[in-house]
Protein backbone atom coordinates (compact mmCIF):
# COMPACT_ATOMS: atom_id res chain seq x y z
CA UNK A 1 0.00 0.00 0.00
CA UNK A 2 1.44 3.30 -1.06
CA UNK A 3 0.65 6.73 0.31
CA UNK A 4 -0.80 7.76 -3.05
CA UNK A 5 -3.32 4.93 -2.95
CA UNK A 6 -4.47 5.83 0.56
CA UNK A 7 -4.74 9.50 -0.45
CA UNK A 8 -6.88 8.51 -3.46
CA UNK A 9 -9.14 6.48 -1.16
CA UNK A 10 -9.50 9.53 1.10
CA UNK A 11 -10.39 11.77 -1.84
CA UNK A 12 -12.97 9.24 -2.94
CA UNK A 13 -14.41 9.14 0.61
CA UNK A 14 -14.76 12.93 0.62
CA UNK A 15 -17.39 12.49 -2.08
CA UNK A 16 -19.77 11.29 0.65
CA UNK A 17 -19.15 14.31 2.90
CA UNK A 18 -22.34 15.79 4.35
CA UNK A 19 -21.41 19.46 4.52
CA UNK A 20 -24.47 21.70 3.98
CA UNK A 21 -23.10 24.31 6.44
CA UNK A 22 -19.40 24.66 5.59
CA UNK A 23 -19.38 23.19 2.09
CA UNK A 24 -15.88 21.98 3.05
CA UNK A 25 -15.47 18.33 2.11
CA UNK A 26 -12.91 16.21 3.93
CA UNK A 27 -12.07 12.56 3.38
CA UNK A 28 -9.98 10.08 5.33
CA UNK A 29 -8.79 6.56 4.68
CA UNK A 30 -6.89 4.35 7.10
CA UNK A 31 -5.06 1.07 6.76
CA UNK A 32 -5.31 -1.37 9.66
CA UNK A 33 -2.82 -3.97 10.85
CA UNK A 34 -4.74 -6.65 8.91
CA UNK A 35 -4.54 -4.56 5.72
CA UNK A 36 -8.17 -3.48 5.64
CA UNK A 37 -9.02 0.04 4.51
CA UNK A 38 -11.68 2.04 6.36
CA UNK A 39 -12.84 5.33 4.89
CA UNK A 40 -14.63 8.28 6.42
CA UNK A 41 -16.00 11.71 5.58
CA UNK A 42 -17.06 14.69 7.64
CA UNK A 43 -20.70 14.68 8.70
CA UNK A 44 -22.11 18.04 9.80
CA UNK A 45 -25.17 18.84 11.89
CA UNK A 46 -27.56 21.79 12.21
CA UNK A 47 -26.26 21.88 15.78
CA UNK A 48 -22.80 22.70 14.44
CA UNK A 49 -20.79 21.40 17.39
CA UNK A 50 -22.03 17.87 16.79
CA UNK A 51 -20.16 17.66 13.51
CA UNK A 52 -17.97 14.59 13.13
CA UNK A 53 -14.73 15.06 11.22
CA UNK A 54 -13.63 12.69 8.48
CA UNK A 55 -10.72 11.27 10.50
CA UNK A 56 -12.91 10.41 13.47
CA UNK A 57 -15.53 8.84 11.22
CA UNK A 58 -12.88 6.55 9.72
CA UNK A 59 -11.38 5.67 13.12
CA UNK A 60 -14.77 4.93 14.68
CA UNK A 61 -15.76 2.77 11.73
CA UNK A 62 -12.57 0.74 12.07
CA UNK A 63 -12.73 0.35 15.85
CA UNK A 64 -16.40 -0.56 15.76
CA UNK A 65 -15.48 -3.40 13.41
CA UNK A 66 -12.79 -4.63 15.78
CA UNK A 67 -9.76 -3.06 14.08
CA UNK A 68 -7.83 -1.03 16.64
CA UNK A 69 -4.33 -0.87 15.16
CA UNK A 70 -3.79 1.80 12.50
CA UNK A 71 -0.73 1.42 10.27
CA UNK A 72 -1.40 4.55 8.21
CA UNK A 73 -4.12 7.16 7.77
CA UNK A 74 -4.55 9.74 5.01
CA UNK A 75 -6.65 12.90 5.42
CA UNK A 76 -7.46 15.14 2.46
CA UNK A 77 -9.24 18.46 2.06
CA UNK A 78 -9.26 21.36 -0.37
CA UNK A 79 -6.69 23.37 1.58
CA UNK A 80 -3.74 25.51 0.41
CA UNK A 81 -1.24 23.24 2.10
CA UNK A 82 -1.65 19.81 3.67
CA UNK A 83 -4.81 19.73 5.82
CA UNK A 84 -4.49 20.28 9.58
CA UNK A 85 -6.55 17.90 11.73
CA UNK A 86 -8.46 19.59 14.54
CA UNK A 87 -7.50 19.09 18.17
CA UNK A 88 -10.31 16.63 18.86
CA UNK A 89 -9.19 14.41 16.00
CA UNK A 90 -5.57 14.56 17.13
CA UNK A 91 -6.60 13.27 20.56
CA UNK A 92 -8.74 10.50 19.04
CA UNK A 93 -5.91 9.51 16.68
CA UNK A 94 -3.55 9.37 19.68
CA UNK A 95 -5.68 6.59 21.15
CA UNK A 96 -5.24 4.28 18.15
CA UNK A 97 -2.03 5.41 16.42
CA UNK A 98 1.34 4.13 17.55
CA UNK A 99 4.50 6.24 17.45
CA UNK A 100 5.25 4.68 14.06
CA UNK A 101 1.79 5.12 12.49
CA UNK A 102 2.12 7.16 9.31
CA UNK A 103 -0.28 10.09 9.32
CA UNK A 104 -0.53 11.49 5.81
CA UNK A 105 -1.96 14.99 5.51
CA UNK A 106 -2.78 16.06 1.98
CA UNK A 107 -4.70 18.45 -0.20
CA UNK A 108 -6.32 18.20 -3.62
CA UNK A 109 -3.34 19.79 -5.37
CA UNK A 110 -1.09 16.86 -4.57
CA UNK A 111 0.76 18.40 -1.62
CA UNK A 112 1.26 16.05 1.31
CA UNK A 113 3.32 15.51 4.43
CA UNK A 114 3.84 12.31 6.38
CA UNK A 115 3.89 12.89 10.11
CA UNK A 116 3.30 11.13 13.43
CA UNK A 117 1.01 11.57 16.39
CA UNK A 118 3.92 12.74 18.55
CA UNK A 119 4.55 15.57 16.11
CA UNK A 120 0.85 16.45 15.86
CA UNK A 121 0.04 16.31 19.57
CA UNK A 122 3.13 16.18 21.77
CA UNK A 123 2.40 15.20 25.36
CA UNK A 124 -1.07 13.93 24.54
CA UNK A 125 -3.28 12.63 27.33
CA UNK A 126 -3.32 8.84 27.39
CA UNK A 127 -4.07 5.76 29.46
CA UNK A 128 -0.82 6.21 31.38
CA UNK A 129 -2.16 9.45 32.81
CA UNK A 130 -5.00 7.47 34.40
CA UNK A 131 -2.77 4.96 36.19
CA UNK A 132 -3.14 6.52 39.67
CA UNK A 133 -6.87 6.00 39.63
O1 LIG B 1 -9.09 17.78 9.49
C2 LIG B 1 -10.26 18.17 9.37
C3 LIG B 1 -10.61 19.53 9.42
C4 LIG B 1 -11.94 19.88 9.27
N5 LIG B 1 -12.90 18.91 9.07
C6 LIG B 1 -14.30 19.30 8.85
C7 LIG B 1 -15.16 19.61 10.03
C8 LIG B 1 -16.23 20.50 9.39
O9 LIG B 1 -17.22 19.67 8.77
C10 LIG B 1 -15.49 21.22 8.28
C11 LIG B 1 -15.11 22.63 8.60
O12 LIG B 1 -14.45 22.70 9.82
O13 LIG B 1 -14.33 20.45 8.02
C14 LIG B 1 -12.56 17.58 9.02
O15 LIG B 1 -13.42 16.73 8.81
N16 LIG B 1 -11.26 17.26 9.20
ZN1 LIG C 1 -11.39 16.95 13.57
Mean pLDDT of 42-63: 98
Nearest atom in ligand 1 to the alpha carbon of residue 25 is 13
Nearest 5 degrees, angle CA 117-CA 123-CA 126?
80
Does ligand 1 lie within 6 Å of residue 24's CB atom?
A: yes
DSSP symbol at 80 = S
* Residue 1 scores a pLDDT above 70: no
Q: Is there a contact between 51 and 45 (Cβ–Cβ < 8 Å)?
A: yes
Cα 52 to Cα 62: distance, rounded to the nearest angstrom: 15
pTM for this entry: 0.97
For the chain, the domains span 3-122
CATH superfamily of 3-122: Cytidine Deaminase, domain 2 (3.40.140.10)
What is the ipTM for the molecules in this complex?
A: 0.99
Amino acid sequence: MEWKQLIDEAISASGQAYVPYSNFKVGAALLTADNTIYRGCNIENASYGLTNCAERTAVFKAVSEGAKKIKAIAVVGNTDGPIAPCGACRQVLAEFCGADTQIILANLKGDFVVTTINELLPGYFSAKDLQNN
